[in-house]
Chain A
Amino acid sequence: MAAPRIIVVGGGLAGLAAVIKIAEAGGTVDLFSIVPVKRSHSVCAQGGINAAKNLKGEGDTTAQHFDDTIYGGDFLANQTPVKAMCEAAPAIIDLLDRMGVPFNRTPEGLLDFRRFGGTLYHRTAFAGATTGQQLLYALDEQVRRHESDGKVKKYEGWEFLSAILDSKGVARGITALDLRTMELRSFPADAIILATGGIGAIFGKSTNSVVCTGSAQSAIFQQGAYYANGEFIQVHPTAIPGEDKLRLMSESARGEGGRVWVPRAPGDQRPIKQIPESERFYFLEEWFPKYGNLVPRDVATRAIHRVVYELGLGIDGQPMVYLDLTHIDRATLDHKLEGILEIYEKFVGDDPRDVPMKIFPGMHYTMGGLWVDFNQMTNIPGIFAAGECEYQYHGANRLGANSLVSCIFGGFRSGPNALQYAKSLSAPEGDGGAAAELARQSEINAKLLKNEGAENPFKLWRELGQTTTEHATVIRYNKGLKQADEKIVELLDRYKKINLSDRSQWANTSFAFARQLKNMLELSRTVVLGALLRDESRGAHYKPDFPDRNDEQFLKTTKASFTGSREGPRIEYEEVDTQYIKPRPRRYDATK
């Protein structure tokens, strides 16, 4: 039989990791990406990548990493895959090192490690404060090497539209849109790996890149894939509010000693340097003496919210707190954090080496994503998922510097698994459904281009972002969640009256965006309704009306499936694999 054809969609860390494994095993890959893969969102990861290498004499172990990850995720993650990830992490770091990632070094020439949130160990390897960029480049270079050997064909500037499913519901390929020529095409494949990243755009402004719309995940969700734990959205405690996006200020700033504070007196007008230590409220350090500024993200985010909205202590009455690095010497800052300090300098205009940064929480990451089995396959046979677009490794809250390792680990698993699946797949009947799927997509496109109405897609998107950010991020009330869902249904209705101000058939970005927007709207309902039904507080999901974790009822994975009805997705629950670590209360104000 012919060699299997694998399609990988998405060229961030997870996608590239999958491609490398397939190419290495002798397979060939068609790699689809909206942007040139080197420009994928993984470049934005700053602080580092976790692995219990124990190079600091602290007695760190992969078992500790596993425990920190499960505990940090409030016991919602299935333990088997997380355990495997933590055990694989040290070898992944070694591999990246061999690939030439310029990790920071100790004087002996060994890898340096820093501390990150949710752990007491120095477990995070880093390359300045641009670790994601360096890791992505290393994998990009390896993929280019395989490309030059003819094992990889890149389709950069193509957007995934849908999966091609045969009469038995088995994946047989994809349809995709050339964003330049607007050509719609079908591509046959024996297995497909989606590695399409986050869903930040659903929240309007977030720390995510422009392409992180969740459109691909949503497309296959609407074709029958389960979407799991959608309600678990990480709001990063330290972002720089901006007009076009919220820029991340890495947790590594706190890992290197950064302190979060506000003046004790509301509206204190004195210049910062004249506020004595005793009149500064280091609230994370006071409330969480053990972990201090390095509590997990959900904990830090809620604390900042409380300080600003309940205690009224935001700087100048604004929703902002200080993240202070000015007590650390400049050489250390430049050596370990230069990349992120530059971002602050460039976009805010102040030098954080001299002046404390002003920050506020911002939507950052989705713990939820496509449901996959332990082999990274979705419930649609032949469609695999890896990276942020799947739900498997972070439970109810992701620990800092675990995303890069989960992307690469998930990619490394999905590649060989997809290849193995493809080898045992029987040939499709006829075209496997390609013509029918192409016709369906072509009809959607034609309708969108002709649509007569008065709604601007970019304005609808702003309204979506406002409602999801208001009701479905840090603090959630059932009343607000219901309002948000009603709003999304209204936006879906108004979407039918969308009018593209550009109807051309060449590099038409409004058209591509309008297609993404529909998918964003559908997917956002899984976030909102998942949150509505989960009457407890766990990890990043916090309801003041249900402040405690309720294991009896909700130690369960949420699985949403698309119905196409006005009522929205159907939600069901699945048991969580807790075979290694018994769930226990999660408290960061004391030793765990």
Chain B
Amino acid sequence: MANKTVQIEIKRQASPDAPAVWESFELPWRPGMNVVSAMMEIAANPVTADGRATTPITYDSNCLEEICGSCAMRINGKARMACSALVDNLEQPIRVEPLSKFPLVRDLQVDRSVLFENLMRVKAWVPVDGTYDLGSGPRVFPQQQEANYPLSNCISCCCCMDVCPQFNEDTGFVGAATIAQVKLFNNHPTGKVFKEDRLRALAGDGGIQECGFAQNCVDTCPKQIPLTDAISDVSREVLIQKAKDWLRG
């Protein structure tokens, strides 16, 4: 048998203003290969399938274990993590593009800082009094821990935002990931001190009411976070908060 190869097509863009072009690569196949190892191979031998010299691909990656959230991109049209995209499970030629809803930096690298800004807006933290020794934390029953842990597994990859029809400049929608974090911190015995602030932050333009319940987010999330449940729960809380605020005048 001739040496098995992998066909991969990558959308390249040298800078935000440069035109996008597709480049094809043919790489030696290896068992267990993923999309990231294909890009490592290209870096060590930056030549296209038709023998033209090119540059290594610019992309974000770090842990390669689907826990740091770096390497999100569109692979065969689907927003997902490149490290867990095993070549043997993908139809070839594998088509790789950057996430579509975020400012492009270069090639497959995009700027996802909007998520971190949103997390700041909703005060996604527990306001501890200080880091000095204040004894044990509040008791938390196993059921509660089991409810919160999945929400705390969000890796900030932004796949849920990329596939959301409502996540765009017109709506300014905050996106599912941030809403799930609001639920997480509002559930925490100490974190809930900011509950009202967080709900109000989701009440205005770009807030939770922009959600169109397309459910793409929950289908896409690589960590299977119950995003639509979180949106329903927080939605209800936001409405109650609005009513309270209205009554208070």
Identify the A interface with B (CB < 8 A). 20-21, 24, 35-36, 38-41, 43-44, 91, 94-95, 97-100, 102-111, 127-128, 130, 133-134, 137-138, 141-142, 144-145, 147-148, 156, 180, 209-211, 242-245, 247-248, 335, 339, 343, 346-349, 412, 456, 458-459, 462, 501-502, 504, 506-510, 513
> Of A98, A147, A458, which one neighbours B40 at CB under 8 angstroms?
A458
User: Please, which residues of chain B bring their CB within 8 A of the CB of A242?
Assistant: 32, 34, 37, 64
Contacts A98-B128, A141-B124 hold; do A41 and B62 have CB atoms under 8 A apart? yes
Measured CB to CB, the nearest residue on chain B to A137 is B152
User: Please, which residues of chain A bring their CB within 8 A of the CB of B153?
Assistant: 130, 133, 339
Query: Which B residues, 32 to 47, have Cβ-Cβ distances below 8 Å to chain A?
Result: 32-34, 36-37, 40, 43-46
User: Please, which residues of chain B bring their CB within 8 A of the CB of A504?
Assistant: 14, 55
- Evaluate contact between B56 and A502: CB separation under 8 angstroms: yes
B151 to A: closest C-beta gap in Å = 9
Measured CB to CB, the nearest residue on chain A to B129 is A98
Stretch at the interface among B112-120, B207-215, B234-242: B112-120
- Evaluate contact between B70 and A35: CB separation under 8 angstroms: yes
Contact with A along B73-101 (1 / 0, CB 8 A): 00000000001101000000000000000
Measured CB to CB, the nearest residue on chain B to A146 is B125
> Of A43, A134, A506, which one neighbours B14 at CB under 8 angstroms?
A506
B38 to A: closest C-beta gap in Å = 9
B123 to A: closest C-beta gap in Å = 8
Interface core residue of B63, B112, B123, B185 (most chain A CB under 10 Å): B63
- Evaluate contact between A510 and B190: CB separation under 8 angstroms: no
- Evaluate contact between A507 and B120: CB separation under 8 angstroms: no
- Evaluate contact between B141 and A109: CB separation under 8 angstroms: yes
What are 24 sample pairs from A and B whose C-beta atoms fall under 8 A apart? A24-B131, A36-B112, A39-B63, A39-B68, A41-B62, A44-B63, A94-B137, A95-B133, A100-B190, A102-B148, A109-B140, A133-B155, A137-B152, A141-B124, A142-B125, A144-B119, A211-B62, A248-B65, A348-B32, A501-B54, A501-B56, A502-B55, A509-B56, A510-B55
User: Please, which residues of chain A bring their CB within 8 A of the CB of B70?
Assistant: 35, 39
User: Please, which residues of chain B bring their CB within 8 A of the CB of A335?
Assistant: 146
- Evaluate contact between B62 and A510: CB separation under 8 angstroms: no
Identify the B interface with A (CB < 8 A). 14-15, 30-34, 36-37, 40, 43-46, 53-56, 58-70, 83-84, 86, 105-107, 109, 112-113, 116, 119-120, 123-128, 130-131, 133-142, 144-146, 148-149, 152-153, 155-156, 185, 188, 190-191
- Evaluate contact between A244 and B128: CB separation under 8 angstroms: no
Contacts A94-B136, A107-B142 hold; do A346 and B152 have CB atoms under 8 A apart? no
A100 to B: closest C-beta gap in Å = 4
User: Please, which residues of chain A bring their CB within 8 A of the CB of B124?
Assistant: 141, 144
- Evaluate contact between A134 and B152: CB separation under 8 angstroms: yes
Measured CB to CB, the nearest residue on chain A to B188 is A100
- Evaluate contact between B69 and A247: CB separation under 8 angstroms: no
Q: What is the interface of chain B mostly: helix, strand, loop, or mixed?
A: loop
How far, in angstroms, from A249 to B196 measured CA to CA in the complex? Answer: 41
Q: Add 18 more A-B contacts to A103-B140, A458-B44, A501-B46 (CB < 8 A).
A: A35-B60, A35-B68, A36-B112, A40-B68, A44-B65, A94-B133, A94-B136, A95-B133, A98-B126, A105-B144, A105-B145, A141-B126, A144-B119, A144-B124, A144-B125, A210-B62, A247-B65, A501-B53
Contacts A347-B32, A506-B15, A510-B55 hold; do A38 and B116 have CB atoms under 8 A apart? yes
Measured CB to CB, the nearest residue on chain A to B111 is A180
How far, in angstroms, from A110 to B136 measured CA to CA in the complex? Answer: 9
How far, in angstroms, from A507 to B103 measured CA to CA in the complex? Answer: 14
User: Please, which residues of chain B bring their CB within 8 A of the CB of A509?
Assistant: 43, 56, 58-59
Contacts A35-B62, A456-B45, A458-B56 hold; do A105 and B116 have CB atoms under 8 A apart? no
> Of A98, A111, A209, A245, which one neighbours B68 at CB under 8 angstroms?
A209
User: Please, which residues of chain A bring their CB within 8 A of the CB of B69?
Assistant: 38-39
How far, in angstroms, from A488 to B83 measured CA to CA in the complex? Answer: 30
User: Please, which residues of chain A bring their CB within 8 A of the CB of B33?
Assistant: 243
The 5 closest A-B pairs by CB, nearest first: A97-B137, A109-B139, A141-B125, A502-B55, A507-B106
